[in-house]
Amino acid sequence: MNRYAGAQKWLILFATSAIFSLFLLDETVFGPALPHMQAALGPSPIAIHWVINSYLLAFACFATLGGILREFYGLKAVLCVSGAVFLTGSLLGGLAQDAWLVVLARGFQGIGGGILFPVSMLVVASAFPKDRRGMALGTLASAGTTFLALGPILGGALTEYASWRWIFLLNVPVFLFGATVILVLANDKHEFPAQKHTDYMGFVLLLSGLSLLVFGLMEAPEQGLVRYLAIAAVIVGVTITALFFRHEARVREPLINVGLLSKPSMLAGCATVFTGQFCKLTVAIFAAFYFHKVLHFSAFYSGLATSVSVLLVPFSTAIGGRVTDIYGSRAPILAGLAGMAVTMTGVAVSTHFGLLYTTLVALFTFGIFMPLCYVPALQLVLTQTAPNLHGEVMGVQTAAKVIGGTFGVTVASFLLALTGQFAVVFLGAAALSLVVLGIALLLAHDAELAVFKS
């Protein structure tokens, strides 16, 4: 019996890692495929980037509901419904003949993946005892990070030697395998919380505010009526986002506990993960776009060249965690932000002059510093926050991370459409890194007088 129980836990971990990895793979796998999707379906460069942002927007907003829905309805119900939405998006994207159907498909993937992203971590955490939980969650994260690194190569290879449609369709068998194992083996004990309030108003404000902001920024370079609509969308989006923060500060059980941002270390940590994801998605999408459009690389070689930016991520993530344990969070955070500012500037200068090898060196070095924006930033706030708030801290950090990626693609699309220069895109990421480095210098401190409790 004990041997069977042990094997069951590892099967759950393996199956959950397969699903979890799909969500991280989708962050980087589409970069080399976008030019070919544009050629096949015919949308503008701005429109094709909605393939990325529709996923990220939906993911960012619906990830805030995953844990709540699992608590209310149980693992099996949430996995079946959210999985059906994710699979619908995968099939629709693989068969779509129109660009906006692909965008819609990516939105479905983002909804399903966003809900299941926190649920997958809860599945693994509940399958292992406390003394093995850290190891299990670390294995889950390592699997996801590995597929994140393989994304550009896999996307380029599928696009070059098969079709970009297989990027969507390969999700189906992998997800069905993982979901079947989880449904059969995982524990689905849950109790409906009698007095739990779900902040649906906060969810609507977050989704509508972010959507209008992203739409406005991405469409602003267009001419005529669209430009005026985009400006209006930005203004309304900013207003709704402000209302979201006001609402979350007042509601008893907020969707995202924005009150945590009143603590300097929390603000510094969120700004750091936002910037890390901003730069990572900028590189994953626009480096591949540069290699294809400017240097005329094939899809496979565009993906291969882009992959140098994430080759060291699994190793530097582990090293970053170890350095944080020894020296605290402040030093690696500052090193990560400073390193990203320097390497993004290097990428900008190299792409401006068409220097392939220095571009690759700068991207490779970027992969050393970028992971320092994640584990140290999370550790910074966890060590200074009461244990009963750790779940809310994780929620705020996850939201900051995913929203950072969304705005990375948005701002980069805006800058590229406005200037036509890839160098400006990477300089924008470098400038943000410098600004947040200044914030971290002021606010990120390892030792404070009191632990934040409310």
What is the model's pLDDT at position 5? 61
Would you state the torsion angle of the CA atoms of residues 311, 16, 108, 50, taken in this order, to the nearest 10 degrees? -10
Report the C-alpha gap between 403 and 392 in whole angstroms.
16
- Yes or no: say if 62 and 315 are a contact pair by the CB < 8 Å rule: no
Six-digit token string for 179: 């979901």
pTM for the complete prediction? 0.84
Q: What is the largest CA-CA distance in the chain?
A: 70
Q: Two tokens at 90? A: 């995968």
Q: How far apart are CA 153 and CA 97, in angstroms?
A: 25
Could you tell me the pLDDT band of residue 452, with boundaries at 50, 70 and 90? very low
Q: Do residues 408 and 278 make contact, with C-beta atoms less than 8 angstroms apart?
A: yes
Distance, C-alpha 206 to centroid of its chain? 17
Q: What is the pLDDT of residues 414-424, one digit of tens each?
A: 899 889 999 99
Residue matched to tokens 């991207």? 363
Q: What is the pLDDT of residues 216-262, one digit of tens each?
A: 877 777 777 778 888 898 899 999 989 988 998 888 878 777 777 77
**CA-to-CA distance for 149 and 311, rounded, in angstroms?**
6
Contact at 8 Å (CB) between 271 and 382? no
CB 217 within 8 A of CB 411: yes
Residue type (1 letter), 87 = L
Dist CA 258 CA 236 (whole Å): 21
Q: What mean pLDDT is reported for the chain?
A: 85
Residue 413 · residue 425 · CB < 8 Å: no
Q: How far apart are CA 341 and CA 338, in angstroms?
A: 5
